[in-house]
Amino acid sequence: MIDPYQIAGYFGVAFYLGSYALLQLGLLKGSSYTYALMNLTAASLVLVSLATGWNLFSAIIQISWITLSMVGMVRVWILTSGLRFTDEEQALIDAHFPTIRRIDARTLMRAGVWQDLEPGAPLTVQGEPVQQLSYIAQGGVDIDLGGQFIADVGAGGLIGEMGCMQSAPASASVSTNRPSRIFVLRSDVLRRLVKRNPDLGAHLEFAFAGNTRAKLMATNARLEEQLKARNLVAAAP
């Protein structure tokens, strides 16, 4: 005959081991709602299983786990339920950090500043250390390499993603080409954020890789158009 209390115990152990394995594999954060819920479920099931094999000390442990898990879930709810983002912030998050936790997104937004810049304002200077990551909410910038115009990056683009984390020398000069609204994150601030929250670094790397790929594709398309135009001129009688 199947013992439901014993089955509850088996499932409780499975939830305990599963949550810990996901934590160690980096698939869950210890402060996440899911981790707390899995531990709450595990402790509850093991506590039910004790109905046919009572053990006071085990019961105390399970009740403690249940209590602490509930406290953790309430804490996460309090921290996340009141989070609100402006349209500009949400557009940035949707474009470059679609999988980031809302609480981490708020941390990132608080770390930066919004700036309204006139045409000609420099964001990076070729050969000089990149001191910030810039997101173009409105307007646009020109990318200049050795005095030659390379590309025009408009709203939604990131500037400085290749060198901001190490303050590496900028590969090109970038300046606004029209009135622009820019979100700026200083390099030293980003490094401190990633040091405290390594998961945030993964989201940044994902955003940087996607933006760099988009820039390369746009540049290649522009070079192809220029090459075609030159060939047409050369072929003209």
Surface-to-core class of residue 225, CB atoms within 10 Å of its CB (0-12 exposed, 13-18 middle, 19+ buried) = exposed
pLDDT value at residue 235 = 58
End-of-domain residue from the set 58, 81, 104 = 81
End-of-domain residue from the set 34, 52, 81 = 81
Residues 92 and 66 in one domain: no
pLDDT value at residue 203 = 84
The Cα 84–Cα 63 span in angstroms is: 35
Residues 187 and 94 in one domain: yes
- Kindly indicate the confidence band of residue 198, based on its pLDDT and cuts at 50, 70 and 90: confident
End-of-domain residue from the set 56, 81, 106 = 81
The pairing of beta strand 132-138 with beta strand 140-145: unpaired
pLDDT value at residue 149 = 85
**CATH code at 130?**
2.60.120.10
For 7-52, write each residue's pLDDT tens digit: 999 999 999 999 989 888 877 877 778 888 999 999 999 999 998 8
Highest mean pLDDT among 16-30, 49-63, 79-93, 130-144: 130-144
Counted domains in the chain: 2
- Kindly indicate the confidence band of residue 122, based on its pLDDT and cuts at 50, 70 and 90: very high
- Kindly indicate the confidence band of residue 134, based on its pLDDT and cuts at 50, 70 and 90: very high
The domain of 122 spans 87-233
Helix (H, G, I), strand (E, B) or coil at 189: helix
Picking from 32-36, 63-67, 124-128, 230-234, which range would have the lowest pLDDT averaged per residue?
A: 230-234
Residue 20 is encoded by which pair of tokens? 């810990």
Residues 71 and 126 in one domain: no
pLDDT surpassing 70 at residue 226: no
pLDDT value at residue 48 = 92
Give which of 81, 42, 83, 80 is closest to 64, Cα–Cα: 42
Q: How far is CA 191 from CA 10, 93, 110, 199, 201, in A?
A: 44, 19, 15, 13, 9
**What average pLDDT does range 213-228 have in this prediction?**
68
> In terms of pTM, does the model score above 0.75?
no
**Contact 124/164 with Cβ under 8 angstroms?**
no
- Kindly indicate the confidence band of residue 220, based on its pLDDT and cuts at 50, 70 and 90: low
pLDDT value at residue 151 = 82
**Percent of the chain residues past pLDDT 90, beyond the cut:** 46
From the DSSP assignment, how many helices (H) and strands (E) are in the chain? 7, 8
